[in-house]
Amino acid sequence: RFHKPHHLWKIATPFASHAFHPVDGFMQSLPYHIYPFLFPLHKVTYLGLYIFVNVWTISIHDGDYRVPKILRHIINGSAHHTDHHLYFDYNYGQYFTLWDKIGGSYKSPTSFEGKGPHDYLRKLREKESNGQGNGCEPRTMPNGDSQKNK
């Protein structure tokens, strides 16, 4: 309910990285604020981690899919996260793909298969233009115009 609106951005941008419901933002940041109480660390380290998390969050939304080939199936980069925005049921991990692989939610990014998010959006547009995107069937009128009926 709170995180789903963040996924309105099917192809994520750096701006989408911080476009979320306030409750979602609070809940996602909670572990970062609880951690120092359990495992004390220096304030400079804490601020460094805060900056790293923000830079990482922006980077997985920036559309730059370049990751060294040897790390592609380990690091949950922008390509993985873009597929998470497109399909929502895959690639939940923030940094690594390990937990997605263990939990069965790992999906190799479509951009690594020679496809990409634009192919997905093209298919959505085709469905909508054929009337399938909104549950309506296309119908041709006698004058040649098309009309969509349920």
pLDDT digits (tens, 9 = 90+) for 41-93: 999 999 999 999 999 989 988 888 888 889 988 999 888 888 888 888 889 88
The pLDDT of residue 150: 47
Rounded to 10 degrees, the C-alpha dihedral 51/23/26/7 comes to -30
pLDDT in tens, 110-150: 877 767 666 777 777 777 776 555 455 555 555 555 554 44
Within 10 A of 60 (CB to CB), how many other CB atoms are there?
25
